[in-house]
Amino acid sequence: MNTTIRLIFAAALLAAAGLAANAQISVQAGVLAPHQKMTHHDSFKRTDRYGYGAYVGADYDIHIIKGFLITPGIYYNYTFSEYINNDPYNFIYFEQIDHLIKIPVYLKYNFNIKPGKFAIYLYAGPVFSVGLASQLNTLCKAIIDDVAGDIIHIDNYSGAIKKIQLANYGDYRTMIIDMVQASIDSKGITQRYLDLQIDGGIGFRFKDHWELRFGYSFGVFDRFNRAYGDTHDLQMTQYYVGFGYRF
């Protein structure tokens, strides 16, 4: 949490520096197409989770020399990803919901095709990703007979079960919860709060204010933590389309 506070404080300092440099501020929003790629080290078996999401935030252009700019910003991201497993004797469905703060620092080059009317820009740079909340919801057949259709909600950062929706198991309910939690704890299935991503894309600016951009980012770090990270990798990537207005 201290690291999170420091990152947000650093973003605030960058914002102050940008304002002092007569920066052009913009508000941005867009849609996301996240891809979570999980790979097993030994078998090289890969599991892909795809989904959707959205983001909203602000950034600002700090002019360096003609055509070149530095564009820091801060965004809130929401993503939903899912995976269906055809194995009838194990976990059969996963969905992951993430709430993230993204802090990009882009290097941008602007091509003024028609000054004041139309411009194209290319951008790339690091994005610091800070997790606010992450939850895994799963359907499981492996716990007990006829448990299919019951949902387990797991906090990805702590590995703790947040909620478990069971049918009428009476006295078995506590036993089932304890059994699932013990399995999660033994495998050490948790994820990191922080990630570093490399982001890049192309943008179009109309009438000096309206913007449309297309981008892609990929995670540099393995998101798995603790013991599970010794045998598996989880990499976060995403495509996105954004709309904005630059003042």
- Note the pLDDT of residue 220: 87
Model confidence at 60: pLDDT above 60: yes
Phi, psi of 183, deg, nearest 5? -65, -45
- pLDDT tens-digit series, residues 159-202: 888 777 665 555 666 776 777 777 777 776 788 899 999 999 99
- pLDDT tens-digit series, residues 75-122: 999 999 987 766 555 556 778 899 999 999 999 999 999 988 999 999
Residue 215 β-bridge partners: 201, 240
Q: Which residues of 180-199 are buried (b: 16+ CB within 10 A; e: fewer)?
A: bbeebeeeebbbbbebebeb
Please give the span between the terminal C-alpha atoms of the chain, in angstroms, as a whole number.
33
Once rounded to an integer, what is the mean pLDDT over residues 15-34? 75
Model confidence at 20: pLDDT above 90: no
Query: pLDDT-derived band of residue 17, with 50, 70 and 90 as boundaries?
Result: low
**Domains and their CATH numbers in the chain:** 2-246 (2.40.160.20)
- Note the pLDDT of residue 145: 46
- Note the pLDDT of residue 68: 95
- Note the pLDDT of residue 146: 46
Higher pLDDT, 193 or 226: 193
Model confidence at 61: pLDDT above 60: yes
- Note the pLDDT of residue 167: 58
Strands 210-219 and 232-246: antiparallel
Q: Mean pLDDT across the chain, nearest whole number?
A: 81
- Note the pLDDT of residue 138: 78
Query: pLDDT-derived band of residue 213, with 50, 70 and 90 as boundaries?
Result: very high
Model confidence at 148: pLDDT above 50: no
How many Cα atoms occupy the beta-carbon half-sphere of 232 within 13 Å? 20
